Each structure stands twice: as C-alpha cells, then as structure tokens.
Amino acid sequence: MSLVGLPLILLTWALAIGAVAATVRGWRLAGRWRMPVRIVGLVVVEALVVAGAGLIVNRQDSFYPSWQALGGAASVVTVPSTSAGRLDGTLDSHAAVTWSPPEAAAWHLAAAPQLIAPSDYAATPARTFPVILVLTTTTEAAEIRPAAGALTVALAPTADTTVAALADLSGRLARDARVTDRLVILADGPWASLAAGWPGRPPVIAGHTAADFERATRDLPAPLAAPEELPS
C-alpha cells in the first residue's frame, strides 16, 4: 500500500474511528481492566489521528513519497578516480613539452603547441588542473610561463586557424593531460577574435605578461580531486 495513497489515509482514519468506538464501548467496563482499556484506547486514537493528519500532509507535499524514502534512501553517490594523462610522465619534468597529437595537423598552427605543467603536477596525481591557453605569435619557451595550479598551453595560430578547426583540441588535451574544462585565454592582439569566439566564452585577457598570467591564475578554480557525483 502506497505511503501517499488514499487507501492508506482512509484506512488510518477508519481505524481511528474504530478505535474511538471501541474506546467508548469499553469506557464503562467494570473491574480492573477499565483503566488499561481507557488508556490504551486513548493512546491508539491519538496515534491514529496524528498519523492520519501526517499522511495527508505528506501526500500533499511528498516529503516521503514511499516507504523506501521513509526508511532512508540508499546513497547513490560515487567518487570516480582521476584518469592519468598520457603525457603525465613527460609533463612531470616541469619543462615546456612539445605537444604533437595527430589532430594537430588540422589545427593549422605555425608551430607545435607547447605544454607547461605547474610545479605540483606530479605531486598531486589525483587532481585535475584548469588551463591557461595562450594564443600568441610564437611558442618560444621564453614566451610562456608555468602558472601555479594551472596547465599552460601555448598555441601559435595562423590565418587559417579557426575555432571550428580547434574544436577537438579540448578533448585531445583532456586525454593527454589531467585538465578540467575551465580555462582562461591569454590572447595577443591578432588572435583576439579567435579567443572571443571560443566555445563556452571563457574569460579572455589581452597579452601574456607575467601579470596577465597571475591574473588568469587568480580567475581560475583551484586544482581539485575528482568530485563526488550523482546519476544525471
């Protein structure tokens, strides 16, 4: 019988009325059973009336829509483990790493992308890192910097580089490094429009000075372990 169904409510109130009738009937019972019958009868009536009222409220507001819910819901929370990136062993070196995924040919870049992991990348294998994406005319090592708590990705676009052409970059990066989908773009002047059209409209900062990197880092989430999850 459903906890929020009319049958249970009607049954409860019918039992309450029956309990009232039985208590009235036994009220004048002679002998030593008079008091126990009265007290038990009244307590049963009180309990059934409170239960009947509670069932009506519960039916209206669905606080506990089932007996299962009333008994306490079993937890369905899961904590997925963080997947290692394919380049984790290389990125642990703290130096700029040339990134050459097979898809890069279709990105129409002037040079191979460069990745720089933060200093705590190797020490925190359970964490994923937000991304600072640098769109610049050169990916020379001097131009890109390691950022605290973020993976730096330097791209040197050309006139043929489009947002559409770079559509698979994020997915490819997520396979090769422990990164999240949170990013800030540092864009040199010529690439401002490319940055502005980036999917999800991430924050864009003009330039890539040390101060720009610091500002970008401040705007990003902290590197975190895999979150608790529920079914979607």
Partner 1 sequence: MRIDGPWTVAVSLLVVLAATAGLALWWDRARLLGRAALIVTVVLGVVAASAVEVNRLTETYPSWSALTGDEPEPPAPEQATPETTAEPGKGRLVTYQVPGPASGMNMPMTVYLPAAYFTPPDRDLDFPVIEALHGYPGTPQSWIRRIDIAGRLDREIAAGRMAPTVVLLPYQTPDRLLDTECTNMVGGPQSETYLTKDVPDWARAHLHVRRDRAGWALTGYSAGAFCAMNLLLKHPDQYAAAASLSGYADPGIKVGDHSEKTTNNIAWRLSHLPRPSVAMWVGWADDDVDARDGSRRIVELAKPPLSVVSAVVPHGGHSHAVWRQMDGPAFDWLSAHLARPARCTADSKR
Write down the residue that tokens 């950022």 correspond to.
147
Q: Residue 169: which residues within 8 A CB-CB, separation 6 or more? A: 103, 107
Rounded to the nearest whole angstrom, what is the least distance from the CB of residue 199 to partner 1 in the complex? Answer: 9
Rounded to the nearest whole angstrom, what is the least distance from the CB of residue 189 to partner 1 in the complex? Answer: 24
The residues of the shown chain that bind partner 1, judged by CB under 8 A, are 27, 35, 38-39, 42-43, 46, 49-50, 53, 61-66, 68-69, 72-77, 79, 124, 126-127, 149, 180, 182, 200-201, 203, 217-222, 224-232
Q: Residue 205: which residues within 8 A CB-CB, separation 6 or more? A: 184, 185, 186, 187, 212, 215, 216
Comparing CB distances to partner 1, the nearer of 18 and 221 is: 221
Comparing CB distances to partner 1, the nearer of 108 and 182 is: 182
Comparing CB distances to partner 1, the nearer of 53 and 104 is: 53
Comparing CB distances to partner 1, the nearer of 62 and 83 is: 62
Comparing CB distances to partner 1, the nearer of 35 and 106 is: 35
- Letter string b/e over residues 4-36, b meaning 16 or more CB atoms within 10 A of that residue's CB: beeebbeebbebbeebbeebeeeeeeeeeeeee
Structure tokens at 121: 């990348």
What angle (nearest 5°) sits at the alpha carbon of residue 58, between those of residues 56 and 64?
150
Can you tell me the distance from the alpha carbon of 181 to that of 74, in angstroms, rounded to the nearest whole number? 31
